[in-house]
């Protein structure tokens, strides 16, 4: 039989009973929609990760110390959670605590809920003084100089910290708590920050401990309404006035923490003087020239720091591993979703198989007639197989259409969805493959019917 | 033996000692008993017999729709008992035209599609098949009905569609199992007239019936009684038709 004549017959059969065709393909509709959504959500997740890390310098290494300084945590209750949170992907502010593996949860919990209690808790531990990291160590600018001098393969190095403090001024009715980041001039370039208006912190301002600040885009909008209005105005951080010297462009969300959009930047030394004092728990950020060299640079930095602090162990976090971790968790999610889609397809396929079995039974007489007039087994097999494939294709198309409707809903629920033509194609392909595979057995059964028995069936 | 051999050479259908039985649980139902039959080219044969005598079983074997248990069957030079399923498919398509009591049209397809189906199986396009069938369709008065679905036709019209489908492939033999069985007298007469005409045109026809009146149309009548075949005149039992 000519393929297009066979297709014509298949077409007649599937259009004859549209309702049945759609019912048959419901499993496939759901399966195809699921596949599209799975890919869309997976892609959305990837895009999220990519976006979070877009400002991230892949060669960045954060060096922080979380040992003896915990004693001081209580003195400045606000300092710690902000630091922890801020240690996002932008490679800037790894606040000391809340980041070491053993303290990851504890730091935040202590800082938020028991600001006072923590001092008693850890402060009493003086009997552990000899242990490593029990000293009061504060990384400072000299350490940065040492690293820049003695470690090769570094393109930039800086020191920064973050804290949280109450802020007043502008259109704010009452004091608000914001993340305050103490940074140096080179920080902007290292974190790929760009300014919407004004200038970033200058070295002279740091040296002079000037009370100036640069606002994140969201902060500027919250306090002043717009970047232009903010520029040149005055805000009050911890009741001291700071002149707004610049406002950042909106940077979007960044990985696992507060974005620059929601932060206020002040000169490093200014913050040490007026805000954090000796409780500062800074992070040194070093950028390796060669991304593949991150490990070696970390080791070299450790050697240099060991000269100054023989008994201390620092925490090293490199951006690459953070990115890997984020992608890995995203991949696990994708795998789970793919497994789900596979299950849906198998169920949909079994559904198709069921309906086709019923259909073969219903059409036994027709098969008998076809056999009586000399239709070959091959042609009967093909007809039923093509029908299954066509029904699945229709199901696939309807499924893709359904996913187009579902996408805004899922997006509304807060999951990022990235629809793509590739996903539609894959869904259609899977639909047809599933339908054909599960349609094979009923079609095969139909083709093997004994003519006289098939014809006798009513 | 010589006469038998000559007969076999002349015959378009030659059955020799064909047996067929059905197993019904413990018992075996012996339906066809040592049937030997020769049908010559151009012959119009009626197979007469009471209900349950094995007429349809015989016809299904002649039509290569069923397999016999033992015996030999030669159809238009092909030894059917040795043929594989694939060959049988080809034979059904090219050498045999089936006409059934219940028309057996495919309800999803329209009249034209039903009629040209055997030609499509041969690899023709719908257009080619339509052209090749046009004469037959006109002869059977179905030209106006081509787009209709079978359930929109009367019984007589449906049977004419079935006959057209059997004819379009120009088969070696036409096999009709009670072609008038489901029709009223008038339509039945028309079908029989048509068969007469087809036979005059040179078609070989084997028609099964339990109606002596119908059988009289045929040039030759054989009887099946209780699974045994008798040439006409060798009547063992009175005609069971009624
Ligand atoms: N598939 C089958 N399995 C078991 N027995 C069968 C089968 N087909 C036919 N028979 C039996 O074989 C016998 C002959 O049946 P067949 O259909 O050939 O009769 P028939 O002469 O065509 O009768 P009718 O005039 O009623 O159509 C019947 O007794 C029937 O019950
Ligand atoms: Mg019968």
Judge: B93–A5 Cβ closer than 8 Å, yes or no.
no
pLDDT tens digits for range B153-185: 999 999 999 999 999 988 989 999 999 988 888
Q: Is the pLDDT of residue B40 over 90?
A: yes
pLDDT at B237: 45
Give mean pLDDT, residues A293-317. Answer: 84
Size of interface A-B (CB pairs under 8 A): 76
pLDDT tens digits for range A44-93: 887 877 776 666 667 788 888 876 444 433 333 333 333 333 333 333 34
Please provide the average confidence, as pLDDT, over all residues in chain B.
88
| CA–CA dist B115, A336 (Å, integer) | 54
Ligand 1 pocket: which of B20, B21, B57, B209 to mutate (most atoms within 8 A of CB) = B57
DSSP H/E element including A302 = helix A294-308
pLDDT at B236: 42
B75 neighbors B13 (Cβ within 8 angstroms): yes
pLDDT at A140: 82
Give mean pLDDT, residues A100-128. Answer: 39
What is the model's pTM? 0.68
Closest alpha carbon to B241 in B205, B206, B216: B216
Give mean pLDDT, residues B64-83. Answer: 92
CA trace torsion B75, B39, B180, A367 (10° rounding)? -10
Give mean pLDDT, residues B117-133. Answer: 94
Return the top range by mean pLDDT from A65-79, A119-133, A210-224, B108-122.
Answer: B108-122
Cβ neighbours of B107 in A, within 8 Å: 366
| CA–CA dist B170, B97 (Å, integer) | 8
CATH numbers and ranges of domains, chain B: 42-65+85-232 (3.40.50.300)
Give mean pLDDT, residues B213-221. Answer: 91
Ligand 1 site, residue B171, Cβ cutoff 6 A: no
pLDDT at B5: 54
Judge: A5–B109 Cβ closer than 8 Å, yes or no.
no
pLDDT at A295: 82
Domain locations in chain A as residue ranges: 3-52+324-456, 66-153+289-313, 162-285
pLDDT tens digits for range B77-122: 899 999 998 999 999 999 999 999 889 999 999 999 999 999 999 9
pLDDT at A60: 80
Q: Does A421 touch chain B (CB under 8 A)?
A: no
Looking at chain A, the whole-number percentage of residues with pLDDT higher than 70 is: 82
Cβ neighbours of A364 in B, within 8 Å: none
Ligand 1 site, residue B105, Cβ cutoff 6 A: no
pLDDT at B69: 94
Give mean pLDDT, residues B207-224. Answer: 92
| CA–CA dist A181, B211 (Å, integer) | 107
A285 neighbors A92 (Cβ within 8 angstroms): yes
A136 or A298, which is more confident? A298
Cβ neighbours of A373 in B, within 8 Å: 92-93, 98, 117-118, 121, 165, 169
pLDDT at A101: 40
Q: Is the pLDDT of residue A345 over 70?
A: yes
DSSP-derived 3-state class of residue A381: helix
pLDDT tens digits for range A250-301: 877 664 444 788 899 999 989 888 888 877 788 888 888 877 788 888 888 8
Q: Is the pLDDT of residue A109 over 60?
A: no
Q: Is the pLDDT of residue A119 over 50?
A: no
Ligand 1 pocket: which of B21, B48, B55, B101 to mutate (most atoms within 8 A of CB) = B55
pLDDT at A56: 66
Question: Which ligand 1 atom lies nearest to the CA of residue B58?
Answer: 18
Looking at all shown ligands, the one closest to residue B60's CA atom is 1
Any residues with CB less than 8 A from the CB of A367 and at least 6 apart, and which?
Answer: A360, A380, A446, A449, A454
* pLDDT band, very low/low/confident/very high, at A215 (cuts 50, 70, 90): very high
Closest alpha carbon to B172 in B39, B82, B48: B39
Any residues with CB less than 8 A from the CB of A111 and at least 6 apart, and which?
Answer: A73, A77, A78, A79, A80, A81, A84, A97, A98, A118
Looking at chain B, the whole-number percentage of residues with pLDDT higher than 70 is: 91
Q: Is the pLDDT of residue A228 over 90?
A: no
Question: Which ligand 1 atom lies nearest to the CA of residue B227?
Answer: 14
Q: Is the pLDDT of residue B233 over 60?
A: no
Give mean pLDDT, residues A298-321. Answer: 82
Ligand 1 site, residue B31, Cβ cutoff 6 A: yes
* pLDDT band, very low/low/confident/very high, at B126 (cuts 50, 70, 90): very high
Q: Is the pLDDT of residue A360 over 90?
A: no
- Neighbour tally for B197: CB within 10 Å: 11
pLDDT tens digits for range A385-439: 998 899 889 999 999 999 999 999 988 888 888 888 988 998 899 888 888 888 8
- Ligand 1 centroid to residue B86 C-alpha, Å: 26
């Amino acid at each position: 039989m000519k393929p297009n004549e066979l297709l014509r017959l298949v077409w007649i059969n599937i259009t004859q009973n549209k309702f049945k065709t759609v019912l048959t393909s419901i499993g496939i509709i759901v399966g195809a929609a699921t596949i599209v959504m799975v890919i869309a959500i997976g892609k959305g997740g990837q895009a999220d990760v990519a976006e979070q890390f877009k400002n991230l310098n892949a060669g960045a290494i954060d060096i922080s110390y979380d040992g003896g300084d915990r004693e001081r945590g209580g003195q400045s209750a606000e300092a710690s959670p902000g630091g922890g949170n801020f240690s996002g992907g932008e490679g800037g502010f790894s606040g000391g605590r809340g980041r070491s593996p053993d303290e990851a949860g504890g730091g935040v919990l202590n800082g938020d809920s028991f600001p006072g209690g923590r001092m008693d808790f850890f402060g009493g531990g003086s009997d552990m003084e000899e242990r490593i990291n029990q000293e009061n160590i504060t990384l400072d600018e000299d350490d940065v100089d040492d690293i820049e001098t003695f470690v090769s393969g570094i393109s930039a190095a800086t020191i920064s910290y973050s804290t949280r403090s109450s802020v007043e001024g502008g259109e704010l009715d009452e004091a608000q708590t914001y993340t305050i980041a103490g940074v140096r001039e080179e920080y902007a370039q290292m974190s790929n920050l760009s300014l919407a208006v004004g200038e970033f912190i200058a070295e002279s301002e740091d040296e002079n401990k000037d009370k100036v600040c640069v606002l994140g885009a969201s902060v500027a909008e919250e306090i002043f309404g717009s970047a232009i209005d903010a520029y040149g105005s005055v805000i009050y951080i911890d009741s001291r006035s700071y002149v707004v010297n610049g406002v950042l462009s909106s940077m979007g969300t960044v990985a696992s923490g507060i974005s620059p959009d929601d932060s206020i930047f002040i000169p490093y030394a200014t913050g040490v003087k007026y805000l954090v004092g000796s409780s500062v728990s800074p992070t040194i950020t070093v950028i390796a020239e060669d991304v593949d060299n991150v490990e070696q640079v970390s080791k070299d930095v450790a050697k240099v720091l060991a000269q100054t602090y023989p008994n201390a162990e620092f925490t090293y976090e490199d951006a690459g591993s953070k990115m890997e971790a984020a992608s890995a968790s995203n991949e696990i999610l994708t795998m789970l979703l793919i497994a789900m889609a596979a299950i849906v397809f198998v169920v949909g396929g079994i559904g198709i198989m069921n309906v086709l079995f019923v259909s073969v039974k219903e059409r036994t007489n027709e098969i008998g007639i076809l056999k009586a007039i000399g239709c070959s087994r091959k042609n009967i097999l093909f007809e039923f197989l093509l029908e299954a494939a066509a029904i699945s294709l229709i199901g696939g198309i309807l499924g893709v259409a359904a996913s187009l409707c579902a996408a805004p809903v899922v997006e509304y629920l807060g999951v990022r969805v990235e629809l793509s033509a590739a996903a539609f194609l894959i869904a259609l392909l899977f639909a047809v493959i599933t339908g054909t595979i599960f349609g094979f057995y009923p079609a095969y059964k139909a083709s093997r019917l004994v003519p006289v028995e098939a014809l006798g069936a009513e | 033996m010589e006469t038998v051999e000559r007969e076999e050479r002349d015959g378009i259908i030659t059955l020799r000692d064909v047996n067929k039985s059905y197993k019904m649980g413990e018992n075996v139902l012996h339906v066809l008993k040592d049937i030997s039959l020769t049908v010559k080219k151009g012959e119009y044969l009626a197979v007469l017999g009471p209900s349950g005598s094995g007429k349809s079983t015989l016809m299904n074997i002649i039509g290569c729709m069923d397999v016999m248990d033992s015996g030999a069957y030669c159809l238009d030079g092909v030894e059917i008992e040795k043929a594989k399923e694939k060959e049988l498919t080809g034979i059904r398509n090219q050498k045999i035209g089936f006409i059934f009591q219940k028309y057996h049209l495919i309800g999803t397809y329209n009249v034209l599609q039903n009629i040209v189906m055997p030609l499509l199986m041969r690899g023709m396009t719908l257009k080619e098949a339509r052209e090749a069938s046009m004469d037959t369709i006109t002869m059977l008065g179905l030209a106006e009905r081509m787009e209709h679905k079978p359930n929109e036709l009367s019984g007589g019209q449906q049977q004419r569609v079935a006959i057209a489908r059997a004819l379009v492939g120009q088969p070696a033999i036409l096999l009709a199992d009670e072609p008038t069985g489901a029709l009223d007298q008038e339509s039945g007469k028309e079908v029989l007239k048509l068969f007469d005409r087809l036979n005059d045109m040179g078609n070989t026809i084997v028609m099964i019936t339990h109606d002596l009146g119908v059988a009289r149309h045929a040039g030759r009548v054989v009887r099946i009684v209780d699974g045994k075949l008798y040439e006409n005149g060798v009547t063992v039992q009175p005609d069971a038709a009624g």
